[in-house]
A = this chain, B = another copy of it.
């Protein structure tokens, strides 16, 4: 069976070489390269199944480099290595499209499992990091509150309001009179208990209606 090809980018020599050895001597894994910085790695990057990337690196940080690496090797999965959890960094790494987040203190056996998980399309996460991610998630996700009770048509129109259309544009887009549009909007206001377009738009976005 083909081994999983792994590239390491990590400035801490001991950790990098330790990982390197584990990978070399474990059946089913193969370490393609091991770099100490992104600057060194980028021009020489070879196709890998998984890239282990330190989140804190001298020079270009791991987070900033996710994009460049993904561009060069679009199919490779990137697992971030972090020393401790840092809400802001975790958030940025997620948005940049990393495929896993594990603490450096994770025992080698679990690192190997994580590499396998990532190679298979999962997103391995240290439970401690996962907790941070979910807390962030709850903070940012829309909180669908009460029933809005909007009809199909009203939802459609609210959606267009969020897109920024005005009454006339909406009327033309839906092939109805502007008066009808105004009527629907009035009903939306009543049902959402708001009194202006911007309030309706804000409510729609905050509660994930549109």
Where the two chains meet, the residues of A that have a C-beta atom closer than 8 Å to any C-beta of B are: 91, 94-95, 97, 99-100, 114, 117-118, 120-128, 130-131, 133-134, 136-138, 140-143, 161-164, 166, 194, 196-202, 205-206, 208
Number of copies: 2
- Residue from the list B97, B124, B205 in contact with A130, Cβ < 8 A: B124
> Known: A133-B133, A137-B94, A201-B202. Contact between A123 and B127, CB under 8 A?
yes
Contact B140 A127 (CB under 8 A): no
> Known: A121-B131, A130-B123, A131-B122. Contact between A196 and B137, CB under 8 A?
no
Q: Which residue of B lies closest to A135 (CB)?
A: B123
Distance to closest chain B CB from A26 (angstroms)? 19
